[in-house]
Structure 1
Amino acid sequence: MVTTYELTLEDFSAFQNDMIHHSDQHKRIRSVWLKYMNIPLFALGFIATILLFPNLESTMTRLLITFGIGMLFALLLRPLFKDLHAPLYLWQIRRTLKKQNVWPKDIKLQFSETHVEMQAVRGSIHRTTQVPWTSILRVYQDESYRFLYYEEDEALIIPKMKDGITEVEQSEIDRILEKHLHTEKHTSST
């Protein structure tokens, strides 16, 4: 079976969003980011304490209060910064990709008995990727996309509803994926 469609920046951003929530690499990045964001949060609490309590008699009391409030700021604002990681990362990726001017790309997917072949065309640049069915590590899907991961940070992006892909082709893609993929399918909740 062969199907063609146009891959846009929004489609690639959906893949990046999926990868942020499911890849071990991004879990490690988020963990490191949160550790380093504790420093400015602590500093914010420290400065706020100095401004709120400028005239404490005891130096030791002042240090304990400023340290305590700094820690409190870091602990209370940590969930906010955890939730901000994904939107900030996606904003940065979109900004970078918009500058590259490589969207949209014409995609041709060919499903065979042994592999999936994706041909991407943008202007005079042609890229072909063949992924054997046995190399697909996992499949994540939501209401709009299927992501067939063949590496930790690489996947075939298959839109479910896209101009150029009919309902008959969607049904055929579903049938082919069920036939060839023996990996557990994960449904995205994001």
Structure 2
Amino acid sequence: MTFTYQMTVEDAVSFQKELIHHTEEHERRRKVWMKYMRAILIGIGYVGTLFFPYRPESTALHILTAVTVGFLFALLLTPLLNDLYAPYMLRLNRRFLQKSQTWPKETTLQFYETHVEVHSVSTNIHRTTQVPWASIKKVNEDETYRFLYYEEDEALIIPKARQGISEAEQLEIDQTLEKYLSTSPNV
């Protein structure tokens, strides 16, 4: 079975979004990012209190007030920081991918008895990836894509509904994946 379609920047960004929400690497990066951002917020809160018109007579009390306000500032804004990690990383990845000048990629997906083969062509770059069915560790999917993970951060991206892939072909892809994969998709 052979299917041909074009991979775009949005397809790659969708995969990055999937990685941000489902990999341990991004969980570690999120924790480090949160620590740095909290430190910055504590500093902003501390510096902000230095400009208050009210100043206690005791320097120690003034510093204690400034540190307390800094920590409160960081504590109150922590949920916002946690929500900003994914959009920030997606924006960075989208910018990087758009600058790479390799999009769109003409992609051919072939299913064999023993493996899946993906041929992608963009400008002068020809890439072929062969993934044995047994090495696919997990399958995640969203509304528009299936991600067949063969490494923690590497996956085959298979669009569900796309120009160039008819409903009949989509049904054929579904049946083939059910036949060869022992893992069920995680939505």
TM tier, smaller:
over 0.9
Structure 1: which 5+ residue stretches go unaligned? Answer: none
Return the alpha-carbon distance in structure 1 between the equivalents of residues 123 and 50 of structure 2. Answer: 59
Matched position secondary structure for 2:48: helix
Q: Which residue of 1 aligns with 2:33?
A: 33
Give the distance between the partners of 1:22 and 1:54, measured in 2 at CA: 48
For residues 21-78 of structure 1, the C-alpha deviation after alignment (integer angstroms, 9 at most, x for no partner) is 0011111111111011111100111012111255211112112111111111111111
For the residues of structure 1 that align with 2:44 and 2:182, how far apart are their CA atoms?
51
2:20 equivalent to 1:15? no
RMSD, aligned CA: 1.0
Q: In structure 1, what is the equivalent of residue 112 of structure 2?
A: 112
Map of 1:3 onto structure 2? 3
Distance (whole Å) between structure 2 residues aligned to residue 53 and residue 24 of structure 1: 46
Equivalent residue letter for 1:133: W
Cα distance in 1 between the residues matched to 2:53 and 2:41: 18
Distance 1:9 1:36 in 2: 30
Instruction: Kindly tell me the number of residue pairs found equivalent between the two proteins.
Output: 187
Number of the residue aligned with 1:134: 134
Query: TM-score, normalised to structure 2's length?
Result: 0.96
Whole-Å separation in 2 of the counterparts to 1:128 and 1:140: 22
* Higher relative contact order, structure no. (Cα contacts within 8 Å, ≥ 6 residues apart): 1
The equivalent of 1:171 in structure 2 is 171
* Runs of 4+ residues over 3 Å off in structure 1: none
User: 2:154: which partner in 1?
Assistant: 154
Q: In 1, Cα distance between the equivalents of 2:86 and 2:162?
A: 25
2:78 match: 78
TM-score normalized by the length of structure 1: 0.95
Q: Which amino acid aligns with 2:119?
A: Q
Further displaced range: 4-13 or 94-103: 94-103
| Structure 2 CA distance for aligned equivalents of residues 6 and 54 of structure 1 | 63
Q: Which runs of 5+ in 2 are unaligned?
A: none
Deviation of residue 82 (structure 1)?
A: 1.0
Which residue in 2 is equivalent to 1:43?
43
Please state whether the residue corresponding to 1:107 is helix, strand or coil: strand
CA distance in 2, matches of 1:30, 1:117: 33
Letter in 2 for 1:39: A
- Mapped partners of 2:82, 2:2: distance in 1: 41
Deviation at residue 79 of structure 1 after TM alignment: 1.1
Cα distance in 2 for partners of 1:53, 1:134 equals: 68
Q: For the residues of structure 2 that align with 1:31 and 1:179, how far apart are their CA atoms?
A: 39
